[in-house]
Amino acid sequence: MCNFYASSAENSTLTDVEGNEYIDFAAGIAVLNTGHRHPRLVAAMEQQLKAFTHTAYQIVPYESYISLAEKINAAAPVEGELKTAFFSTGAEAVENAVKIARAYTGRPGIIAFGGGFHGRTYMTMALTGKVAPYKKGFGPFPGSVFHVPYPSELHNVTTADTLIAIERLFKADIDASQVAAIIFEPVQGEGGFNVAPPELIAAIRRLCDEHGIVMIADEVQSGFARTGKLFAMDHYQHQADLMTMAKSLAGGMPLSGVVGKAEIMDAPAPGGLGGTYAGNPMAVASAHAVLDIIKDEQLCQRADALGERLRVALRDCQEWCAELAEIRGLGSMIAAEFCDAQTGEPSAAAAQKIQQRALEQGLLLLTCGQYGNVIRFLYPLTIPDAQFDKALKIIASATKIQEA
Ligand SMILES: Cc1ncc(COP(=O)(O)O)c(C=O)c1O
């Protein structure tokens, strides 16, 4: 947690109560792809505020919810007739995706991935593949959840290793016919921005087709232009059956959703899904604005362009920062992993030192990764060029840790 209190924010700048300014490369943990308080988002919310702020959608529906669901149905990379349901948090979206998959298949089992993060509720903690700090001391967790390794080139885990683990699982722990869903992040968020190799997505699709399993892509962190496409799954040839979304969907308002094949989405009985605040009208109004901004300001293209500039700058840093072991990601979902220059072991200390040095120069960065040794760069895609250049200079200076 930062040692200052926020007072105001505009696009990619955060100001604290003492008037200090920070370039915000944390973006409220991947929520602000369209920046703080985009004028179109503020206008949309003001308009909604004057109309009504809450009715509870399942009691008194409103058209903006339906039209937003239609836009998501049209945009999601899943073929056939689709339906979308809205909730409030990312964890809630994941919980509901699991409920839908279980209702559809009538099966209990869920396969998830090591290093994956899906939230802080009990089911999503069970799905999360990192013990400390997310699960430590909170057990027992819901059962019938199984983890397999997620591929990582740097840590020598291949898609073949993942598939062997799933085959073993089917022999040792649960029959494939009892598995309701395989849930994965196309680009792992908290896990360190590991990008799923296309062969992993293809293999999950094949397994799901073979055994009647629902394929769930958790796009809570990777969605809404971050990777250079509206959804990270747009990068792949194979499609999921259900997708979860939240964070940048509503640019700072709590809104999440599940989109997927209508036949699967329709499985729960009426009243089985929902929530008092699910699809809140203020958040829905922001999400409409977010989708318009992404389209009109061509934020997918901008994510690619900014991501490329960042990659080039990080490669330069490798000249003086021997700890910078790998630069990876998709579009603007870019991370840098730090390892000890001598031993090659993950170095959380190097990542934290760089994060601290950047903060001292006015740049807010976030760490992530299984070992806490990865820095992720989550700037608003609307960041002005001059400010982005300034941030790159701070990153260059902050990575000179040997000279410090
Ligand atoms: C991939 C993924 N799924 C789910 C969640 C949980 O979202 P929330 O914190 O809104 O519950 C997160 C949050 O970081 C996430 O990155």
Q: At residue 403, does pLDDT exceed 80?
A: no
| Best probe residue, ligand 1, of 221, 368, 378 (max atoms within 8 Å of C-beta) | 221
Please enumerate in sequence order all residues whose Cβ is within 8 A of that of 130, keeping only pairs 6 or more positions apart, or say none: 114, 115, 116, 117, 190, 191, 370
pLDDT per residue as tens digits for the range 276-301: 999 999 999 999 999 999 999 999 99
Q: Is residue 330 within 8 Å of residue 187, measured between CB atoms?
A: yes
Atom 10 of ligand 1: nearest residue by CA position: 90
pLDDT digits (tens, 9 = 90+) for 25-64: 999 999 999 999 999 999 999 999 999 999 999 999 999 9
Q: How far is the CA of 117 from the centre of ligand 1 (A)?
A: 7
Facing residues of 22 across strands?
14
Q: Is residue 82 helix, strand or coil?
A: strand
Residue 384 has pLDDT above 70, yes or no: yes
Cα of 85 vs centre of ligand 1, distance in Å, is 17
Tokens 């959380």 -> residue = 348
Q: Which fold has domain 41-296?
A: Aspartate Aminotransferase; domain 2 (3.40.640)
Q: Whose CA is nearest to atom 3 of ligand 1?
A: 118
**Distance (Å, whole) CA 363 – CA 317:** 16
Name the closest-CA residue to atom 13, ligand 1. Answer: 119
Q: Atom 7 in ligand 1: which residue has the minimum CA distance?
A: 90
Q: Do domains 6-30+298-403 and 41-296 have the same CATH topology?
A: no
Under 8 Å between Cβ of 4 and 14:
no
Task: Give me the half-sphere count of Cα atoms (radius 13 Å) on the Cβ side of residue 94.
Answer: 28
Under the banding of pLDDT at 50, 70 and 90, the label for residue 404 is low
Q: Which SS3 state, helix, strand or coil, does residue 327 take? A: strand
Q: Enter the tokens of residue 153.
A: 């080139």
- The residue type found at 307 is G
Q: Which atom of ligand 1 is nearest to the CA of 188?
A: 1
pLDDT score of 105: 98
Before 346, cis peptide (omega within 30)?
Answer: no
- Kindly list the domain boundaries of the chain, sorted by start residue: 6-30+298-403, 41-296
Which of 184, 220, 248 gets mutated to test ligand 1 (max ligand atoms within 8 A of its CB)? 220
Helix (H) or strand (E) holding 180, with range, is strand 179-184
Tell the residue nearest (CA) to atom 4 of ligand 1.
118
Ligand 1 pocket, mutate which of 88, 117, 150 (most atoms under 8 A from CB): 117
Give the whole-angstrom CA distance, residue 106 versus residue 119.
24
What is the whole-number distance in angstroms between the Cα of residue 68 and the centre of ligand 1? 21
Strands 179-184 and 214-218: parallel
Token pair of 320 as six digits: 């003086």
* Orientation of helix 348-360 relative to helix 385-398, angle to 10°: 130
Mind listing the pLDDT tens digit for each residue in 57-107?
999 999 999 999 999 999 999 999 999 999 999 999 999 999 999 999 999
CATH of domain 6-30+298-403: 3.90.1150.10
**134-184, pLDDT tens digit by residue?**
999 999 999 999 999 999 988 899 999 999 999 999 999 999 999 999 999
pTM of structure: 0.97
Query: What tokens were used for 352?
Result: 């934290």
How many Cα atoms sit within 13 Å of 36 on the Cβ side? 18
59, 325 contact by CB (below 8 A): no
- In this predicted structure, what is the pLDDT of residue 2? 85
The alpha carbon of 90 and the centre of ligand 1 are apart by a number of angstroms equal to 5
Task: Give me ligand 1 centre to Cα 124, in Å.
Answer: 9
The one-letter amino acid code at 200 reads L
| Rounded Cα distance, 119 and 214, in Å | 20
Closest listed residue to residue 231, CA positions, set 296, 279, 186, 181: 186
Which atom of ligand 1 approaches the CA of 221 most closely?
16
Ligand 1 pocket, Cβ-based, cut-off 6 angstroms: 29, 89-91, 94, 117-119, 185, 189-190, 218, 220-221, 246
Instruction: Give every CB contact of residue 52 below 8 A, 6+ residues apart in sequence.
Output: 62, 281
Instruction: Characterise 156 by phi-psi region: left (phi > 0), alpha (psi -120 to 50), beta (else).
Output: left
Q: HEC states along 212-234?
A: CCEEEEECCCCCCCCCCCCCHHH
Cβ proximity of 244 and 93 under 8 Å: yes
Residue of the CA atom closest to atom 16 of ligand 1: 221
Q: Give how far Cα 301 sits from Cα of 21, 57, 225, Å.
A: 28, 35, 8
DSSP summary character for residue 268: S
Q: What does the pLDDT average to over 231-237?
A: 98
User: Which of 29, 87, 118, 123 for mutating ligand 1's site (highest number of atoms within 8 Å of CB)?
Assistant: 118
